[in-house]
Amino acid sequence: MPDLHYEHPALAALYDLDSGWSIDRDFYLGLASGGQKRILDIGCGTGLLCDAYASLGHQVTGVDPAHAMLDVARTKPYGSHVEWIESTAQSFRSDKRFDLIIMTGNALQVFLEDQEVLAVFETMRRHLAQDGVIAFETRNPAVDWPARWDKDATHILGEQTILQSRKVLKKEGDRISFETRFGFPDKQLVSFSELRFLSKSQIEDLLLKRGLKPKAIYGGWEKQPFDAATSDDIVFLIEAV
């Protein structure tokens, strides 16, 4: 099940304030250059990228398991031009094949077991058109993420001021769990999350098991080489074997 900050309508409405347009979305938008494409966004959330792709005339399908996030996505300026589907990444199936399949926002990290990751990669492989490309990213496990994540933020939504605080609860093996508290004027909501941090080689091995291989691996959004010691992100461009 999605975490509360994806599933609760009040928190879904906040999502774009905390995770708005950024350099990573510029990267993904650039992958759709060179003519109209059929695009699948797995874990599309509030649909920022789907909306941007649709505004350029692409045929877009957005998939997410969180009903509340899709409700926000449908209100985007080009939301009526996008096919929105409520589904997990593992179980999504369509007769369509896509030229570009993306999974952004480090969504790969919510899958805590190898079998879940393999099921996601199988979904990608099944729906990839000939000569199509898959793109996703994950955080580099070598980085000290807990040191960065204990922080507070303030959001203004209409006439409401919402206080947000995040606290890491535990780091064990390749997993980090944390809680995020949202203080509204009339209530407090708490979301608990757990993420898995796979290495570049672990992901490559799982991709190969599903007939996929890296076309390129970057260490950031300007396509710089991946450095295992210093890169924050591991950005994958994938093609079928």
Sheet of strand 128-139: strand arrangement: 83-86, 59-64, 38-42, 98-103, 128-139, 233-240, 212-218
Q: What is the pTM of this model?
A: 0.95
- At 44 the pLDDT is 97
Q: pLDDT truncated to tens, each residue of the chain (241 aa)?
A: 558 878 889 888 888 887 788 999 999 999 999 999 999 999 999 999 999 999 999 999 999 999 999 999 999 999 999 999 999 999 999 999 999 999 999 999 999 999 999 999 999 999 999 999 999 999 999 999 999 998 888 988 888 899 999 999 999 999 999 999 999 999 999 999 999 999 999 999 999 999 999 999 999 999 999 999 999 999 999 999 8
Nearest residue to 71 via CA among 16, 9, 18: 9
Residue 137, exposed/middle/buried by CB under 10 A (0-12, 13-18, 19+)? Answer: buried
Q: How many C-beta neighbours within 10 Å does residue 170 have?
A: 10
CATH classification for the domain delimited by 4-140+198-240, as one of 3.40.50.150, 3.40.1190.20, 3.20.20.70, 3.50.50.60: 3.40.50.150
Domain ranges of the chain: 4-140+198-240, 145-195
The confidence score (pLDDT) of residue 2 equals: 59
Question: Which CATH architecture is the domain 145-195 placed in?
Answer: Single Sheet (2.20)
Helix, strand, coil percentages for the chain (3-state, nearest 5):
30, 35, 35
Q: What is the pLDDT of residue 1?
A: 53
End-to-end CA distance of the chain: 32
Phi, psi values for residue 231, rounded to 5°: -70, 135
236: phi > 0 → left, psi -120 to 50 → alpha, else beta; which?
Answer: beta
Distance CA 206, CA 25 (A): 25
Which residues make Cβ contacts (< 8 Å) with residue 71, sequence separation at least 6? 9, 12
Give the type of residue at 217: I
What's the confidence (pLDDT) of residue 10?
87
